[in-house]
Amino acid sequence: MSFKGFLNRKFFRCFFWFFLFAVLSLFLTACHRAPEGLPDTIVVGSLADARSLLPLLAGDSASADISGLIFNGLTKYDKDLKLTGDLAKSWEIKDGGLDIIFHLRKGVKWQDGAEFTSADVLFTYQTVIDPKVPTPYSSNYGPVRDVETPDPYTVVVRYKKPFAPALESWGMGIIPKHILDGKDVSDERFSRNPVGTGPYRLKQWITGQRIELEAFNGYFEGKPGIKRYIMRIIPDMSTMFLELKFGGIDYMELTPPQYNLVVHSAFFRKYFNRYRYPSFGFTYLGWNLLDERFSDVRIRRALSHAIDKKSIIKGVLRGYGTPCTGPFLPGSWAYNPDVPDPAYNPARSLELFRQAGWTLKNGVLQKNGRPFRFTILTSQGNTSRLLAAEIIKEDLRKVGVVAGIKVLEWQALLHDFIDKKHFEAVLLGWSLSRDPDLYEIFDSSQTKDGEFNFVSFRNPQADSLIEEGRSTFDLEKRKQIYHKLHYLLAWEQPYTFLYVPDSLPVLNKKFRGVKEAPIGIWYNFIHWRIPPQKTLWYN
C-alpha cells in the first residue's frame, strides 16, 4: 500500500470515528435536554388528518378537535359535565320542553369582523336540515317544528314534541350566513377556509402533514394565552412518542405500553404531566349486517363468544381499560349493570355456529363448501387496535373462523370503505356525547352514505326505544328506557362491544393553567399560557 493510500485510509477511519462521536454527542445531548418545543405554541400529535373543518360535516375526531377551536355552538359542557352557555348567554325552556328561547351574546364577532346574530343560527339550522347537505347531524334537528328570530339576539326553537337532547344538540358549531348563504357548503373550498367565532382561526393546512391555527384576538371570551395551535399528523404511535420526547410535539394520547414507560421514567416525570381517566367512548368490532352471514344474530353472538376481551385488556391495554357490554359506559346513568356480556366461551360459540348451519371441517368452519372467512379493517397508526385485531384473529382461528386484517389510512377507510359499506368487519371506536341518545348510531333511518349507522342495524324495537328515550325529559323514565335498550343491543350484538379504554394523555409541563376536571383538561385551553423559559437540562 502506498503512503498516500495509507493516509487516505487513516483519514477515513479518523473521519468515521469523529462523525460517530459527533452523532452520539448530539443524541445524548438531545436525550438530556428539556423538550422545549416552539415558543407561544402548542403542538399536538394526531394519527389522522382532518376530513372537514365545517362543524356540520366534522364527523371524525380529528376534524371535530380542530373545528371546535374555530367555531362555537349556542351551548357547551362545562368542566363538571353540565350544560352552560357559549354563544347563548342564557335560555328559557317553556311548555314542558316544546319551546326553547335562546338569548344570544351581544358583541360577538366572526373572524372576518362581521357581527354574529340570530340570522346565523337560523341559517345553520336551515343548512343542517337540507337533504342535499351530507351531514350526519341532521337527525338532531328532525324534532324541530320551526325556528324563529324575532330580533338579532333572540332565537326561538319550537319542537313537535319534547326532545331530551335539545340543549346538547345546539352545541354544534354555528356557521356564518354572510359567507355561506347560497353556496354549496360541502365544497372543499369552505371546509379549507373556515371562518368561525372561536378562539383560533386557520392559518395553514398542509394535507397529511399539519394544520396550523393562530389565536383570534377578537374572541369574545378574551385573547387566548397560547398564540398558535399546531396539529401534526403522525400516523405512527412510535414515531409520535419519539417526537414527544425530543420536543417535536407537546401533547399526545399514549398507548398503554408508552404510559407504563412514562410512569417509570425520571425524564418524563420531570418534564411531562400525565393523566389517566376513563375515556367517554368504547372500542368495538362492527359487523356489516348487509352481509348475509352477519345478518344472523346467532353468527354475531357466536363471534362475540369466541373473543377473549379480558386477554385484550390485559395484553394490549396493560389493564388500562374495562370490558364493554354495550354503548352505555360505567358511570353513566344510562348504563345497565345487569346486562349480561357474551362471555368468552369457544364451546358456546361453536354450538351457535352449528345452529346457523356451519360445520367444523379440518379446523375451518364451512357451509355449502365455503369457508367462514372475512377481513377486519382498521385504521393506520393505532397500535392498540392493530394488536387487538391480532388477538381477535387468533381467538377466531380456534373456532374455525379465518380472519384477515387490513390496515388503511384514516380518510381512505372512511371514504372508500365505511361510507360505501365496502367492508365485512371494522375495528373502530366511538367517542360519545354526554347525552345517551343513540339515534345517529343505531336508528334504522341513519344508514345512508356518510351517516353513522354504517353497519346497517335495523330493529323496530330498538327504533321505538330510541324514540322514547329522546322524547321525555323525565330522567327516571329515560333511565328505564335506556336500560332496556342496553339489554337489547347486548343481545343483538350489531357490534362486538370490546372495551372502554382509559384515556392516557401526556402534556409538557411548560404549560400553566392546566386544570384536570371530570370533562378532562381541554375545557379551559384558552386560559393556558407558557411562562418565559430558560433552557433546562435533565441531570
Structure confidence by residue, pLDDT tens digits, 177-235: 999 999 999 998 998 999 999 999 999 999 999 999 999 999 999 999 999 999 999 99
Write out pLDDT tens, residues 393-404. Answer: 999 999 999 999
Number of domains present in the structure of the chain: 3
Q: Are residues 437 and 390 in the same domain?
A: yes
Sheet strands side by side (includes 272-274): 200-206, 210-215, 228-233, 41-46, 251-253, 505-508, 272-274
From the number of C-beta atoms within 10 Å of its C-beta (0-12, 13-18, 19+), residue 297 rates as: middle
Banded pLDDT at 38 (limits 50, 70, 90) = confident
pLDDT for 286:
98
What mean pLDDT do residues 76-100 have? 94
Q: Are residues 365 and 508 in the same domain?
A: no
Write out pLDDT tens, residues 472-506. Answer: 988 899 999 999 999 999 999 999 999 999 999 99
Q: The CATH number of the domain where 337 resides is what?
A: 3.10.105.10
Banded pLDDT at 9 (limits 50, 70, 90) = very low
Whether the predicted pLDDT of 29 surpasses 90: no
* Inside any domain, residue 262: yes
Q: Are residues 97 and 219 in the same domain?
A: no
Sole residue written with cell 380518510: 411
* Inside any domain, residue 121: yes
pLDDT for 261:
92
Whether the predicted pLDDT of 18 surpasses 50: no
Sole residue written with cell 386544570: 515
Q: Are residues 519 and 410 in the same domain?
A: no
For the chain, give the mean pLDDT. Answer: 91
From the number of C-beta atoms within 10 Å of its C-beta (0-12, 13-18, 19+), residue 290 rates as: middle
Q: Are residues 305 and 385 in the same domain?
A: yes
pLDDT for 536:
42
Q: Are residues 488 and 520 in the same domain?
A: no
Tell me the three cell numbers of residue 128.
343542517
Banded pLDDT at 12 (limits 50, 70, 90) = very low
Residue-number span of the structural domain to which 128 is assigned: 73-177
Q: Are residues 434 and 446 in the same domain?
A: yes
Q: The CATH number of the domain where 209 resides is what?
A: 3.40.190.10
Residue ending a domain, among 144, 177, 210, is: 177
Q: Are residues 166 and 211 in the same domain?
A: no
Q: Are residues 331 and 421 in the same domain?
A: yes
Please say whether the beta carbons of 521 and 275 come within 8 A. yes
pLDDT for 23:
39
What mean pLDDT do residues 404-419 have? 94
* Inside any domain, residue 164: yes
pLDDT for 39:
82
pLDDT for 411:
87
Q: Are residues 272 and 146 in the same domain?
A: no
The residues with which 44 forms a beta bridge, in sequence order, are 231, 251
Banded pLDDT at 537 (limits 50, 70, 90) = very low
Banded pLDDT at 33 (limits 50, 70, 90) = low
Which of 138-142, 343-347, 358-362 is least confident?
138-142
- Grouping H, G, I as helix, E, B as strand and the rest as coil, residue 265 is coil
Whether the predicted pLDDT of 372 surpasses 50: yes
Please say whether the beta carbons of 326 and 482 come within 8 A. no
Whether the predicted pLDDT of 1 surpasses 50: no
Which of 76-80, 218-222, 400-404, 517-521 is least confident?
517-521
Q: Are residues 356 and 377 in the same domain?
A: yes
Sheet strands side by side (includes 88-94): 88-94, 99-104, 154-159, 144-151
Q: Are residues 236 and 344 in the same domain?
A: no
Sole residue written with cell 319551546: 99
* Inside any domain, residue 68: no
* Inside any domain, residue 56: no
**C-alpha closest to that of 256 among 382, 430, 344:** 382
pLDDT for 281:
92
Write out pLDDT tens, residues 413-465. Answer: 999 999 999 999 999 999 888 899 999 999 999 999 888 999 999 999 999 99
Q: The CATH number of the domain where 107 resides is what?
A: 3.90.76.10
Please say whether the beta carbons of 510 and 36 come within 8 A. yes
Whether the predicted pLDDT of 258 surpasses 50: yes
Whether the predicted pLDDT of 8 surpasses 60: no
* Inside any domain, residue 187: no
Whether the predicted pLDDT of 40 surpasses 60: yes
Tell me the three cell numbers of residue 223.
385573547
What mean pLDDT do residues 349-360 have? 98
Alpha-carbon separation of residue 124 from 54, 127, 157, 253, 357 (angstroms): 11, 5, 13, 33, 51
Which of 103-107, 372-376, 408-412, 419-423 is least confident?
408-412
* Inside any domain, residue 137: yes
* Inside any domain, residue 80: yes
d(CA 300, CA 289): 9
pLDDT for 35:
67
d(CA 25, CA 151): 67
Banded pLDDT at 85 (limits 50, 70, 90) = very high
